[in-house]
Copies of this chain bind each other. A is one copy, B any other.
Amino acid sequence: MSTGRGQQYTGQASASETARLTIAQAVQDALNVEMERDPSIIVLGEDVGLNGGVFRATDGLFERFGPDRVMDTPLAEDAIIGASVGLAVTGMRPVAEIQFMGFVYPAVNQILAHAARMRNRTRGRLTVPMVIRMPYGGGIHAPESHSESYEALFVHSPGIKVVVPSNPYDTKGLLISAIRDEDPVMFLEPKRIYRAFREPVPPGSYTVPLGTAAIARQGSDVTIIAWGAMVRVCLDAASALEREGISAEVIDLRTLNPLDRDTLLASVTKTGRAVVVHEAPRTAGVGAEIVALINERALLQLEAPVERVTGFDTVFPYAKLEKHYLPNRERISAAVRRTLEF
């Protein structure tokens, strides 16, 4: 196995000890482990090969698995996803990368009209087991169109699962589940924390099931609901709130479709208060769905309106102003206080 040119980490499929990995490395690790296991898995996308991906999430795969399994494609998102549909219906398991979520739009037709519908349209005869990975979200002072969080578009579209990890352990386990899933899965990687921290990640293969939320922090006064990069911000807010004597439970949804309603509703029923946090614009974001769910299932347990702390209904601002856009500890804490003071 080549060590590649300069990357720090080349996958621990053959390692036997738990290593401390970043989220980007956990992605790489999951791909290594799974590609080793199942020769029908193919990685394809722009710059995923020799270059190892612009965030190095596919680093070393090309050297290890060769050009027939790690394919640098032309600059054409519609073809990347459309070809993946063709690969998947004929028995391959493509893991396609879209370089940034802002560049998924040209592939929306293939995702919504084909990948998400093939099983239904053919009454189960043809299926599309594929993963569409992409970095999403703001916070890294990236150029325009590089900071999108448009998960709501896909959560609203039946037939495609949407998964968003918030830490390295889950990243590996969820990505392995996504690859093994028999249906298309959109896998959104929080690029803001791609390399922000390391956590122990076991070697070899393990799964974190799709469709189950995690209680990232126990609490009793209020439930904060988030996913992806926002989970850490919420945990941070929860710590700060603790010093004020407020006990916040933080739920990391992990999968946005299907939603783990039970975990969510159990927590809100217990605390009677909820704050949903996301980076995407407020209107018709996934936060609205969560408020609607709570309204439908736990209205009588609510002590206060569910608060939403979200991006604005504006274009994601370019680097100089982006800090004003993203939900932060103060906004989350203020929303929590509002639910308590209601």
Contact = CB atoms under 8 A, between A and B. Distances in A.
A299 B302 contact: yes
A296 interface: yes
A284 B286 contact: yes
B284 A289 contact: yes
A299 B291 contact: no
Contacts of A312: 158
A228 to B, nearest CB: 16
Interface in A257-298: 257, 259, 280-281, 283-289, 291-292, 294-297
Complex copy number for this chain:
2
A162 to B, nearest CB: 10
Interface in A298-331: 299, 302, 304-308, 312-315
A121 interface: yes
Given A105-B112, A296-B305, A156 B145 contact: no
A3 interface: no
A214 B304 CA distance: 30
A155 interface: yes
A117 interface: yes
Contacts of A53: none
A108 interface: yes
A105 B108 contact: yes
Contact of A281 (B109, B156, B283, B315): B156
Contacts of A121: 144, 315
A78 to B, nearest CB: 8
A305 B315 contact: no
Nearest to A280: B156
Nearest to A316: B158
A153 interface: yes
A225 to B, nearest CB: 13
Given A292-B291, A295-B295, A295-B306, A120 B284 contact: no
A112 to B, nearest CB: 6
Contacts of A168: none
By Cβ-Cβ distance, the 9 closest A-B pairs, closest first, are A105-B109, A291-B292, A156-B284, A288-B288, A288-B292, A288-B289, A284-B289, A299-B305, A120-B315
Given A105-B108, A108-B108, A288-B292, 20 more contacts: A102-B113, A105-B112, A106-B109, A152-B284, A153-B153, A156-B280, A156-B284, A158-B314, A259-B283, A284-B284, A284-B285, A284-B286, A288-B288, A288-B291, A291-B292, A291-B296, A292-B306, A296-B307, A296-B308, A299-B305
